[in-house]
Amino acid sequence: MNTAMAPGAGMAALGQDIGEAVGDLRAMHERKEREESFAAGSRASLALGKELEGAAAFRSASPDPATWQQDSDGRFARVRELINKENIPPQEREKLVAWLDSKQGQHAAATTSQADNQRRAANRTDITNLFEMQVAHGDFGAADGTLTSAEQSGLFRPGELADERADLEYRKKRHQERVEEQKLFATYKENPAAHWERFKSHTPPEGADPVKYQRDREFIQAALLQRNHEDSLDIINGIESGKITSDADIEHYGADLTPIARKELKRSLAAKQDAKNAAFRRTPLYQWQVIGETSRMLEEWKPDTVTFDAGYNRILGNVASLPPGPEKETLQAHVEDVRTGKLRGIQTRYDEGLRAFNDYDRMLFEKLPGQKRKKTSTAIADGFLQDVHKLQNWFPEDVARHISAGTLTGERADAQATERFRQAWVHRTTETAGDPLLQATAEAIYQDEEEIDHFTEEAIKARQKHDQESGKRRQDFGEWMRLNPHADEERVRKKINELATAPVVRSALAKMITAAPRRTYLGPRPASSPATLGEAVKPVQPRHSYLR
**Average per-residue pLDDT in the chain?**
80
Residue 469, domain member (yes or no): yes
Backbone angles phi, psi at 375, to 5 degrees: -70, 135
> Is residue 445 domain-shared with residue 500, that is, in the same domain?
no
Among 416, 434, 454, give the residue marking a domain's end. 454
> Is residue 389 domain-shared with residue 411, that is, in the same domain?
yes
Residue 40, domain member (yes or no): yes
The Cα 14–Cα 26 span in angstroms is 18
Residue 196, domain member (yes or no): no
> Is residue 518 domain-shared with residue 419, that is, in the same domain?
no
**Res 501: pLDDT:** 63
The candidate with the shortest Cα–Cα distance to 417, out of 441, 393, 384, is 384
Residue range 241-253, pLDDT digits in tens: 999 999 999 999 9
Residue 2, domain member (yes or no): no
> Is residue 362 domain-shared with residue 493, that is, in the same domain?
yes
> Is residue 412 domain-shared with residue 468, that is, in the same domain?
no
Tallying the residues shown for the chain, one arrives at 548
Domain containing 448: what range? 376-454
Q: Are 235 and 251 in contact (CB under 8 A)?
A: no
Residue 6, domain member (yes or no): no
> Is residue 428 domain-shared with residue 503, that is, in the same domain?
no
Residue 108, domain member (yes or no): yes
242-281 CB burial, b ≥16 within 10 A, e <16: eebeeeebbeebbebbbebbbbbbbebbeebeeeeeeeeb
> Is residue 247 domain-shared with residue 266, that is, in the same domain?
yes
**Res 286: pLDDT:** 92
**Res 12: pLDDT:** 63
> Is residue 389 domain-shared with residue 491, that is, in the same domain?
no
The Cα 105–Cα 481 span in angstroms is 85
Among 156, 190, 224, give the residue marking a domain's end. 190
- Residue 488 zone, left/alpha/beta (φ > 0; ψ -120 to 50; rest): beta
Residue 294, domain member (yes or no): yes
Q: Are 256 and 231 in contact (CB under 8 A)?
A: yes
The Cα 538–Cα 473 span in angstroms is 28
Residue 3, domain member (yes or no): no
> Is residue 441 domain-shared with residue 530, that is, in the same domain?
no
pLDDT by 10-residue block (mean), the chain, 548 residues: 57 63 66 74 81 82 80 85 80 82 83 79 84 86 87 82 85 86 81 82 83 87 84 92 93 87 91 86 90 87 75 90 84 81 69 79 86 89 91 93 75 83 90 88 87 88 91 89 89 86 49 42 41 32 46
Q: Are 352 and 487 in contact (CB under 8 A)?
A: no
Q: Are 489 and 349 in contact (CB under 8 A)?
A: yes
Among 454, 479, 497, give the residue marking a domain's end. 454
The Cα 451–Cα 47 span in angstroms is 89
**Res 531: pLDDT:** 32
> Is residue 448 domain-shared with residue 508, that is, in the same domain?
no
For the chain, the first-to-last Cα distance in angstroms comes to 153
* DSSP code, position 327: H
Q: Hey, CA dihedral for 38, 42, 44, 48, is it positive or negative?
A: positive
Domain count, the chain: 3
> Is residue 126 domain-shared with residue 241, that is, in the same domain?
no
> Is residue 133 domain-shared with residue 36, that is, in the same domain?
yes
